[in-house]
Amino acid sequence: MAFKTEEMILNMGPQHPSTHGVLRLEVELDGELIISVKPHIGYLHRCFEKHCEAMTYPQVIPYTDRMDYLASMYNNFGYVVTMERFLNIQVPERVEYIRVIMGELQRIASHLVALGTYGVDIGAFTPFLYCFRDREKILSLFEMTCGARLLYNYMWIGGLSHDLHPDFIPACKEFLRYFKPNITELNNLLSFNKIFIERTANVGILPAETAINYGVTGPNLRGSGVKYDLRRNDQYSVYDRFDFEIPVGTGANGTLGDCWDRYYVRVREMEESIKIIEQALEQLPEGDINTAIPKRIKPPAGSIYGRVENPKGELGYFIMSDGSTSPYRLKVRGPSFVNMTVFSELCKGHLVADVIAILGSIDIVLGEIDR
Amino acid sequence: MKTREEIFNSLKQEFPRDVLEFQNVPVEPVITVNPLAINKICHFLRDVEGFEFDTLMCLSGIDDANGEKITEADGTVTIKGGVLSVYYHLYSIKLNHKVTLKVSASRENPEVESVESIWKCADWHEREAYDMFGFIFLHHPDLRRILMPYDWEAGYPLRKDYKNPEFYQGIKIPY
């Protein structure tokens, strides 16, 4: 007697801790094997782009904070760099250096959340607490600088909202000294943990060619072995003055481009960020933190597409101006939004338990996917 | 590495009827092309040696709002005629050059060929442009709303003459 079988549809989310926000995955299963995954997004849609059309250019900055809320500094950074290119403004050197320091601290903070929560997704709770303990110290540094812990509105067009606090430089150096050995600790706890490797190596393999075609950027692309980082490839700010490496995946524990590679690229990027911050603190010039810009910012009628290397990938701003004081159209190309498109492709043929492992390795933030 | 102008000249030679003009607007010049030939042109740009645009950085819709503006009795504006546009920002990782393409389609029937089969990341970008502006991407495999609810019937939010509905599923919207 033959049993009748049919595929099962499983809804994961929108309220599910390992979807990192409000994301619904419609998973089609054959037993435990995944046939297809359909992500449904939009639960956190806050009409960012429509709002911007009613704001003046500087008023957009606080809204950018709220997209990728784990990397607010870098969202500010991307927007102001694009606007400065649009207006053809040169900012003082000190501003550039402070922006780089803040941006790299933010990269470490964002990666710490990514790595910590990835551990939780896989079943390791302890590293999560260690990561958040360290992230807390970075947030304190930001609080010292601009008074806010998560949503900063710190970088302004042509400058910054505040200069560094007098205690910032020693506090930052102290943090780096404290944080360096913690990466080794994290590696011992999680990265080279046998159970963790079993769960992540050879899972969700992303070949470089597929990654490029899907527009995947950031640590996910580098995990597939492509040495591509906008800090080097599409130079902005003062990143050309620092000596740092671009870590890429090697397939050390499995196949090139698997979840473990993507995870480990993030760990190594934190080390590189520390290098950048140390050099920036060393070279930090004295000077003004604001340039003279017109009170009413009016870019020429035209458009620009500017992009920076956000902790999660390429963050692009497409700004169109009609010559007035508010953007005619502003579109954000969020790295998570584009990285998420490859997700269904990665899941095919894996087990249902791997969905979580793959989703965590892509490191998405729903605030930016939905905007 | 090629400049935008060089790319335009080679495209013009290859597709004399579908490549329209080189608009030298501030900061980033754009190449306007025929919306029904954009997939052919993008195929050429991706596959031919010397161009090799392997990624689509961004695809964004725009409401040009250049039609006739009619003021309704309640003070709101409706736009008739004119065009909607799509901007394509392409980049070649291999050769490190960029180009911006633009297509314009009529507001009443904004049909544009899909580039989803060329760059997979266009899938969601095109769904977003459909969701926000109402572009019909021909030959797109799965053109549904993406950010707005699937049953949103009040039109396309990023159009300049968009009006909020009174109610959504029995819930009053303007509060």
Average pLDDT over residues A335-345: 90
Helices A93-122 and A126-146, packing angle to 10 deg: 160
Does A49 sit within 8 Å of B120, measured CB to CB? no
Position B73 scores a pLDDT of 82
Name the E strands within B64-96: 68-71, 77-80, 83-92
Query: Using CB atoms, which residue from A86, A307, A333 is nearest to B27?
Result: A86
Closest CA to B90 of B132, B34, B143, B43: B43
Which residues pair with residue A107 across a beta bridge? none
Position A11 scores a pLDDT of 87
Average pLDDT over residues B53-81: 85
Average pLDDT over residues B150-166: 86
Closest CA to A312 of A286, A285, A288, A333: A333
Position A110 scores a pLDDT of 92
Instruction: Establish if B26 touches chain A: CB-CB under 8 angstroms.
Output: yes
Q: What's the CA gap between A160 and A182, in Å, rounded?
A: 31
At A21, list the tokens.
């926000």
Position A112 scores a pLDDT of 92
**At residue A108, does pLDDT exceed 90?**
yes
Average pLDDT score over chain B: 87
Which residues pair with residue B101 across a beta bridge? B31, B88
At A161, list the tokens.
């909202």
Instruction: Establish if B95 touches chain A: CB-CB under 8 angstroms.
Output: no
Is residue A262 situated within a structural domain? Answer: yes
Is residue A44 situated within a structural domain? Answer: no
Position A101 scores a pLDDT of 92
Does A41 sit within 8 Å of B121, measured CB to CB? no
Q: C-alpha angle with apex A317: B39 to A109, nearest 5 degrees?
A: 125
Average pLDDT over residues A281-286: 88
Chain B residues whose CB is inside 8 A of the A318 CB are 58, 60, 87, 89
Chain A residues whose CB is inside 8 A of the B168 CB are none
Does B93 sit within 8 Å of A233, measured CB to CB? yes
**Within 13 Å and on the Cβ side, how many CA atoms surround A84?**
24
**At residue A117, does pLDDT exceed 80?**
yes
Q: Residue A22 — very low, low, confident or very high, per pLDDT cuts 50/70/90? A: confident
Query: Per-residue pLDDT tens for A56-89?
Result: 998 999 999 888 888 899 999 999 999 998 888 8
Domains and CATH numbers, chain B: 4-172 (3.30.460.80)
Q: Where are the alpha helices (DSSP H) in A187-286?
A: 194-200, 208-213, 219-223, 230-233, 259-283
Does B100 sit within 8 Å of A42, measured CB to CB? no
At A83, list the tokens.
């606007």
Position B27 scores a pLDDT of 83
Chain A residues whose CB is inside 8 A of the B22 CB are none
Q: For residue A4, what are the contacts with CB-CB under 8 A and spacing of at least 6?
A: none
Q: What's the CA gap between A163 and A281, in Å, rounded?
A: 14
Position B5 scores a pLDDT of 80
Q: What's the CA gap between A91 and A157, in Å, rounded?
A: 9
User: Do the beta carbons of residue B114 and residue B139 sit within 8 Å?
Assistant: yes
Q: What's the CA gap between A219 and A216, in Å, rounded?
A: 9
Is residue A315 situated within a structural domain? Answer: yes
Q: What's the CA gap between A244 and A266, in Å, rounded?
A: 14
Q: What percent of chain A has pLDDT over 90?
A: 28
**At residue A359, does pLDDT exceed 80?**
yes
Helices A259-283 and A93-122, packing angle to 10 deg: 150
Q: What's the CA gap between B90 and B78, in Å, rounded?
A: 33
pTM of the full structure: 0.90
Query: Per-residue pLDDT tens for B13-31?
Result: 888 888 888 888 888 888 9
Report, in angstroms and rounded to the nearest whole number, the Rg of chain B calculated over CA atoms.
18
Does B27 sit within 8 Å of A302, measured CB to CB? yes
Average pLDDT over residues A2-25: 82
Q: What's the CA gap between B129 and B63, in Å, rounded?
A: 11
Is residue A225 situated within a structural domain? Answer: yes
Average pLDDT over residues A88-111: 91
Q: Residue B47 — very low, low, confident or very high, per pLDDT cuts 50/70/90? A: confident
Query: Per-residue pLDDT tens for A170-180?
Result: 999 999 999 99
**At residue A1, does pLDDT exceed 80?**
no
Is residue A280 situated within a structural domain? Answer: yes
CATH number for the domain that contains residue A122: 1.10.645.10
User: Do the beta carbons of residue B16 and residue B33 sit within 8 Å?
Assistant: no
Chain A positions with Cβ closer than 8 Å to B = 41-42, 45, 47, 49-50, 85-86, 212-216, 226, 228, 233, 299-305, 307, 314, 316, 318, 320, 328-329, 331, 333, 337-338, 340-342, 345, 370-371
Closest CA to A241 of A76, A77, A101: A101
Is residue A9 situated within a structural domain? Answer: no
Identify which of A109-113, A200-204, B77-81 has the greatest average pLDDT: A109-113
Sequence length of chain A is 371
Does B58 sit within 8 Å of A214, measured CB to CB? no
H or E segment and range at residue A38: strand A33-40
Query: Using CB atoms, which residue from A226, A316, A341 is nearest to B123?
Result: A341
DSSP state for residue A71 in the 8-state scheme: S
Report helix, strand and coil shares of chain B as percent, to nearest 5.
Answer: 20, 35, 50
Cα dihedral: A235, A236, A237, A241 (round 10): 0
Minimum distance, in Å, between the CA of residue A89 and any CA atom of chain B = 13
Chain B residues whose CB is inside 8 A of the A47 CB are 157
Average pLDDT score over chain A: 89
Average pLDDT over residues A334-343: 90
Number of domains in chain A: 1
Does A305 sit within 8 Å of B89, measured CB to CB? yes
Nearest chain B residue to A367 by CA: give it: B147
Position B68 scores a pLDDT of 82
Query: Using CB atoms, which residue from B87, B125, B158 is nearest to A49?
Result: B158
Nearest chain A residue to B46 by CA: give it: A213
**At residue A212, does pLDDT exceed 80?**
yes
Instruction: Establish if B36 touches chain A: CB-CB under 8 angstroms.
Output: no
Average pLDDT over residues A129-136: 91
Query: Using CB atoms, which residue from A47, A86, A338 is nearest to B121?
Result: A338
Is residue A14 situated within a structural domain? Answer: no
Is residue A242 situated within a structural domain? Answer: yes
Does B120 sit within 8 Å of A212, measured CB to CB? no
Q: Tell me phi and psi for residue B139, to 5 degrees.
A: 65, 20
Count of beta carbons in the 10 Å neighbourhood of residue B172:
9
Name the E strands within A241-324: 302-310, 313-321
Chain A residues whose CB is inside 8 A of the B158 CB are 49-50, 329
Nearest chain B residue to A227 by CA: give it: B93
Query: Using CB atoms, which residue from A41, A328, A331 is nearest to B147?
Result: A41
Instruction: Establish if B100 touches chain A: CB-CB under 8 angstroms.
Output: yes
Does A226 sit within 8 Å of B100, measured CB to CB? no
ipTM for the assembly: 0.89
Does A318 sit within 8 Å of B58, measured CB to CB? yes
Q: Tell me phi and psi for residue A29, to 5 degrees.
A: -120, 145
Q: Residue A286 — very low, low, confident or very high, per pLDDT cuts 50/70/90? A: confident
Domain of A152 in residue numbering reads as: 51-350
Average pLDDT over residues B83-100: 89
**At residue A163, does pLDDT exceed 90?**
no
Position A171 scores a pLDDT of 92
At A209, list the tokens.
């060619």
User: Do the beta carbons of residue A182 and residue A192 sit within 8 Å?
Assistant: no
